[in-house]
Amino acid sequence: MNRDRSDDVVLAVPRGRIAREVIPLLAGIGIEPEPAFRDPDSRRLAFRTSVDGLSLIRVRSFDAATFVAFGGADLGVVGYDVLLEFDYDDLYLPLDLGIGRCRLAVAEPAEVASSDDPRRWSHVRIATKYPATTRRHFAARGVQAECVKLNGALELAPQLGLCRRIVDLVDTGSTLRANGLVEVEKIADISSRLVVNRTAMKLRPRLLNALVDRFRKAIDGAPD
């Protein structure tokens, strides 16, 4: 870790749908980000909070784990999907925050699914942001998964002939429906986790344990 350790404690928060759920969680434990954090037009990436010595950074969901793993942030809110895919050793995973709930699932066009049985697959070609998790999931039952890595708009891949199937996060299912796809197999239930950099935890145990405890009490519904 190269940061000056006299710096603020830095919490990495993913942008997008998880950020919307993180704001009330933070408010519940007395952490109010400065107003620019809620401003969708703000181009700022780092924000002060109402807690002295604690700042936030807003990053892409895949990058929240990377910032914490490399010590750029001390702790972060990270989707379990990202943890499954990258398997970082340097992260201590103290809490399931119970937000960002969805599932990682296999989907295919409705017309294919009507006569398809996933138990008979021996080789599949799949578009996904999660090639390692996908390959591991299928390898466990002897199916070879050839993955086409995309970073978004996966739902287009079947209609444009890249592959017949995708592995992606599914929440309400409306993105799949809007693109003529149906879910055929769940890989994992997903929620967001609080992760802490292991070295930071050794260097600043009192401060970081106190923060982790505040999150723990909030999700247990106990008084602070």
- Name which position in 95, 169, 187, 194 contacts ligand PRP (CB under 6 A): 169
Percent helix, strand and coil across the chain, each to the nearest 5: 35, 30, 35
- Name which position in 3, 8, 15, 17 contacts ligand PRP (CB under 6 A): 17
User: Binding string to ligand PRP for residues 49 to 68, with x set by CB under 6 A, is what?
Assistant: --------------------
Least CB distance from residue 30 to ligand PRP, whole Å? 28
Q: Which segment (75-83, 108-116, 167-175, 209-217) binds ligand PRP by CB under 6 A?
A: 167-175
Interaction between residue 171 and ligand PRP (CB under 6 A): yes
What's the rounded Cα separation, in Å, for the pair 107 and 124?
12
What's the rounded Cα separation, in Å, for the pair 163 and 157?
6
What's the rounded Cα separation, in Å, for the pair 114 and 51?
54
Token readout for 60 is: 């892409």
Least CB distance from residue 4 to ligand PRP, whole Å? 33
The residue among 87, 84, 53 whose CA lies nearest residue 69 is: 87
Q: Which of residues 102-161 bind ligand PRP (CB under 6 A)?
A: 152
What is each CA distance from 44 to 16, 71, 95, 191, in whole angstroms? 15, 20, 28, 26
Least CB distance from residue 45 to ligand PRP, whole Å? 17
The binding site for ligand PRP (CB under 6 A) comprises: 16-17, 152, 168-175
